[in-house]
Amino acid sequence: MTYIASQSLTFEEFITQYGDNPRYELIDGELRDMEPTRPHESVCGEVAGRLFAEILRLKLNWTIPKSCLIKPPAAEATVLRPDVVVLDKSQLEREPLWQREPILTSGQAIKLVVEVASKNWQDDYARKVEEYALLQIPEYWIVDFRALGGIDYIGKPKQPTFTVCQLVEDRYQRQKYRLEDTIASPLFPELSLRLLDMMP
């Protein structure tokens, strides 16, 4: 991830200039180049595909949009671009911007957010944990297939880690899984998913 030296951007300026560009998100007015790589995109696709298959199998009224921006209401100049997001279709009518642009301004429709850790792993493990918890998103997954996160988050020795964050009251409780572990997701209790199966 690259921090781009420029003047601070507002939400409106970001949407106008970079809203349609999947490379960028905005954190406290700073433009962040996400620098997506082929392995990163491959893991995102694997996760989205497996989640969508489970949604179809269970006949849930949920969807996974191709792209989506999240504007946390408490952060003036922050626009998050999750790698994968699961939305409840029945709640999307409550989103004031959704019919015109794929922008969510609350967490009501969001069932799950997935971030595939990359060079911006600090945001995934810290800032986004706080933002997604404030939005009351029930689950948040961090897929750290390259073991980039700090040892406080993924342990020592560092190894590929899949972290499932479950919202309990207003904070996430984290559970770490390694390559061959089958993750436990309260949202998808019958899903058989291992980090090993999603490695690029």
What domains sit in the chain, N to C, each tagged with a CATH number? 37-198 (3.90.1570.10)
Convert the pLDDT of each residue in 126-180 to its tens digit: 999 999 999 999 999 999 999 999 999 999 999 999 999 999 999 999 999 999 9
Could you tell me the two tokens for 11?
Answer: 């939400």
Q: Is 78 exposed, middle or buried (0-12, 13-18, 19+ CB in 10 A)?
A: buried
Using alpha carbons, list the distances in angstroms from residue 189 to 54, 124, 132, 173, 197: 10, 24, 21, 17, 18
Per-residue pLDDT at 196 exceeds 90: yes
- Tell me the C-alpha to C-alpha distance, in Å, between residue 67 and each of 20, 106, 127, 153, 194: 9, 16, 20, 27, 24
- pLDDT band of residue 69 (cuts 50, 70, 90) is very high
CA distance 54 to 158: 30
Residues 6+ apart with CB under 8 A from 149: 117, 121, 124, 125, 142, 158, 161
Contact by Cβ (8 Å): 82, 50: no
- pLDDT for the residue 6: 54
* pLDDT confidence band for 36 (50 / 70 / 90): confident
β-sheet bridge partners, residue 114:
84, 141
- The pLDDT, as a whole number, for residue 7 is 63
Handedness of CA 107, 109, 111, 113 (dihedral sign): negative
Residue corresponding to tokens 């949920």 = 62
pLDDT of residue 78: 93
Lowest mean pLDDT among 19-23, 55-59, 94-98, 105-109: 19-23
List, in sequence order, every beta strand (DSSP E) within 77-136: 84-88, 103-104, 110-116
pLDDT band per the 50, 70, 90 thresholds, residue 52: very high
How many other CB atoms sit within 10 Å of the CB of residue 175? 14
